[in-house]
Amino acid sequence: MEKVNAIPSLTWHRLRVNEASEKGAFPPVPRRGWGAGDVTLVKVPRGITVDEDEPIACEELESGLGQYGDRLISENANSRWAVTVEKKIKNPLIIEDSVAAGCACVTCGSVYAVAGSALKIIHIFRGDEGVSQSLTRIYLEEGAQVELCEIQLLGAAVSRHCGVAAFGQAGSQFRYTRMELGGAVTVCGAKAVLSARSAAFDMACAYMGTGDEYLDFNDVANHIGRETGSEMHVFGVLGGTADKILRGTIDFRPGAGRSVGHESESVILMSPGVRNRTVPLILCGEEEVEGQHAASAGRLDEDALYYLNARGISPEEARRLMIEAGFRPVADRIPDAKLRDEVLEELGRRIASL
Amino acid sequence: MSTPLLKIEGLHVSVDEKEILHGVDLEIGAGQVHVLMGPNGTGKSTLVSAVMGDPRFTVTEGRIYFKGEDVTEAKTDERARMGMFLSFQAPQEIPGITLENFIRTACGAVSGKQPKLFAFRRELREQMARLGLDESYAERYLNVGFSGGEKKKSEILQLLMMKPALALLDETDSGLDVDAVRTVTEGIKAWHNAENSLLIITHNAKILEGLDVDHVHVLSKGLIVRQGGAELVREITEGGFASVKEED
Ligand SMILES: Nc1ncnc2c1ncn2[C@@H]1O[C@H](COP(=O)(O)OP(=O)(O)OP(=O)(O)O)[C@@H](O)[C@H]1O
Ligand SMILES: [Mg+2]
């Protein structure tokens, strides 16, 4: 029952990859709770409603972390936010979580997107020490479009757990961007349920693991409706003795005919000491589906590095550029130019110290 | 006589333990245009790769001097910063780095200071227009999805922006349609002056039209077998390599 980031099927039993290891366990909740949290709704665009309570439809959703993790976060949250969106909103809602030594920010958020509405959300996580946990649950009615962009800029001493749950009705689109640049322990799980015809899930994730960091990802696309689509693409760079596991599941349920799901991961390994595991899983409960998976892991492309050198760019700079290049398509999805520049700058700093 | 811009002395080059070049001598003076011809697989690309310092090629004997300095052991990026430029026969595709960003970084690397954005953009646009590359390509990832000809134009665009002292063009004309070859030649002419030099590898005389060729070198089986003036280009394109080798 205390499993975190568990894969939906126990195929890889012997490899011990079915769920997060002890390194990815939740830190114990202090007897008196987490204390005060520091979450700010930095920018609230006009036209959305900030709610007092979480909609019941959202409460019932499960994230990739699983029931146990979801409950730990939702029951012990020290900050909460909930919004309802009823029309198409252009400017993004920007939320910022901050942690510091001895402080935790445990945030439970929810979005209810009414039929035909659209909303972009940027959620930033900052701070050098402490505990950062978040659970974001999103309900999309017919044709609703929600874009969630989570940017994690935490320091190397933060324990981080992040769950995302989305439920999409017919024709809805959930676009999810995740950038994980820091954290001693990073455990993230996103799950999208494509409940009816033509619902779509589009995820792009980029991560960086250095030192002896532990990174654990569990992402799931549940295809229930016909002609549903999922794209889950991940880029990562690992250095030092970082230990990473990524579980990516495309689950075609009976009735999900003519659905399409693609997943991929490309990892750059900067040191021989890293541990890199990828567990792709495509479950076919339906005949007429297309599921594809691709993975690559290795050092930086020597030919590309040489090409950059031939243009006067030093080997160190070329290495930095090549890593940045992997992050770029993910960073380009951040719907705010100022934040995007800040992220790229921070990224440059972190790559330099890889 | 002033120091030649590039001087190659008795160069032996191996790849995977196999010797490809068996002692090549070549001198290019400032402002000169040289042409390197020769049958497929004789080592033309190997020669320019060794001059550029491609780590896959090992110089086992001989020296390379650039601007009077011995660069035989210098790293590729150092040679580039000294003013050497190689237009690749098969340019790399690099997803995630836009053409504009790449060229700006490269210009910054060779000049020692990052070019001012506004002036840089204006010049980039001008040069792109000159080469018939649509403006939108500046924001595309480097060579990704470019056609064969567009990749070659992207190489020449880099040449025009980086303004090197020596350009080594490895079959820049192959894959270009007739009009594109003319456009590229025009671009090269606009950059070429009394100080900077060219070494052009080609199987075709078209790219040389309008350029004053000073010297032609014919490479065969890893050795320069014939040297001469511009007239050699015609002999070869009309009579093939057999017609020129015998005279050696
Ligand atoms: N990286 C490499 N590994 C192994 N052999 C190589 C490599 N590069 C070149 N060679 C070999 O060296 C020889 C010369 O090749 P090179 O590319 O220099 O010829 P070229 O004169 O440029 O020919 P082309 O006109 O076809 O471009 C060939 O036999 C080729 O197979
Ligand atoms: Mg060649």
CA atoms of A268 and A307, how far apart (whole Å): 18
Put simply, whether B105 touches A (Cβ < 8 Å) is: yes
Residue B33 lies in a domain: yes
Q: What distance in Å separates the CA atoms of residue A78 and residue B117, rounded to the nearest whole number?
A: 46
Expressed in angstroms and rounded, the spacing between residue B45 Cα and the centre of ligand 2 is: 4
3-state secondary structure of A5: coil
Any residues with CB less than 8 A from the CB of B88 and at least 6 apart, and which? A307, A310, B155, B170
Which residue numbers in chain B have pLDDT < 70? 1, 245-248
* Nearest alpha-carbon partner for A283 in A219, A202, A217, A223: A223
**pLDDT value, residue A13:** 59
Phi, psi (rounded to 5 degrees) for A83:
-135, 150
Give the nearest partner residue to B80 out of A311, A315, A329, using CB atoms: A311
Per CB-CB distance under 8 Å, the chain A contacts of B91 are 307
3-state secondary structure of A303: helix
**What pLDDT was estimated at residue B226?**
93
Phi-psi category of B112—alpha, beta or left, where left has phi over 0 and alpha has psi -120 to 50? left
Give the model's pLDDT for residue A118.
98
Ligand 2 centroid to Cα of residue B42, in Å, is 8
Q: How far is CA A71 from CA A24, A215, A334, B31, in A?
A: 16, 21, 29, 75
Q: Express each pLDDT in A188-243 by its tens digit.
A: 999 999 999 999 999 999 999 999 999 999 999 999 999 999 999 999 999 999 99
B63 bridge partner residues:
B9
Assigned domain for B248 exists: no
CB B86 within 8 A of CB B52: yes
Determine how many CB atoms are found less than 10 A away from the CB of residue A255.
12
> Is residue B170, in this structure, part of any structural domain at all?
yes
CB-side exposure of B202: number of CA atoms within 13 Å?
27
Chain A residues with beta carbon closer than 8 angstroms to that of B71: none
Model confidence over B149-158: pLDDT tens digits? Answer: 999 999 999 9
In this structure, what token pair is assigned to residue A265?
């991961």
Position of tokens 């210009």?
A: B107
Which pLDDT value is given to residue B36?
97
B175: left (phi over 0), alpha (psi -120 to 50) or beta: left
B168 touches chain A (CB under 8 A): no
Sheet holding A118-126, edge to edge: A39-43, A93-98, A118-126, A145-152, A173-180, A200-209, A229-238, A260-269, A290-298
Q: Do the Cβ atoms of B128 and B137 come closer than 8 Å?
A: yes
Residue A352: the pLDDT is 85
Give, for ligand 1, the residue of B44, B48, B86 to mutate: max count of ligand atoms closer than 8 Å to Cβ. B44
Q: Is B102 helix (H, G, I), strand (E, B) or coil?
A: helix
Q: Which residues line ligand 1 (CB under 6 A)?
A: B 15-16, 20, 38, 40-46, 56, 89
| Helix (H), strand (E) at residue B124 | helix B117-131
**Segments forming the whole domain that contains residue B18:** 6-243
Surface of B (194-213) touching A: CB under 8 A = none
Produce one character per residue of B124-141: b if its CB has 16 or more CB atoms within 10 Å, e if not: beebbebbebeeebbebb
| DSSP-assigned states of every residue in A82-137 | EEEE-SB--SPEEEEEE--TT-EEEEEEEEEE-TT-EEEEEEEEE-SEEEEEEEEE
Give the whole-angstrom CA distance, residue A15 versus residue A10. Answer: 10
What pLDDT sits at residue B248?
Answer: 45
Question: What is the DSSP secondary-structure string of B155-217?
Answer: HHHHHHHH--SEEEEESTTTT--HHHHHHHHHHHHHH--SS-EEEEE-S-SGGGTTS---EEE
Q: Hey, how many other C-beta atoms are within 10 angstroms of the C-beta on A212?
A: 13
In angstroms, the separation between the Cα of residue B57 and the nearest Cα of chain A is 12
Q: Distance (Å) from the C-alpha of residue B10 to the closest C-alpha of chain A? A: 24
Task: Render A232-290 in DSSP notation, one character per residue.
Answer: EEEEEEE-TT-EEEEEEEEEE-TT-TT-EEEEEEEEEE-STT-EEEEEEEEEESSSS-E
For residue A154, the tally of other CB atoms under 10 A from its CB is 24
CA distance B95 to A268: 14
CATH of the domain at B183: 3.40.50.300
Structural domain contains residue B1: no
Q: What is the pTM of this model?
A: 0.85
Question: In chain A, which residues have pLDDT < 70?
Answer: 1, 10-15
Q: Which amino acid is at A155?
A: G
Give pLDDT, residue A77: 96
In total, how many domains does chain B have?
1
Q: What angle do CA A1, A5, A55 make, to 5 degrees?
A: 85
User: Cα angle at A298 between B155 and A214, to 5 degrees?
Assistant: 130
- List the structure tokens of A86: 């009823």
Token couple for A296: 């690559």
Helices and strands, counts by H and E, chain A:
5, 18
The ligand placed nearest to the CA atom of residue B21 is 1
Q: Which chain B residues contact residue A327 at CB under 8 A? A: 96
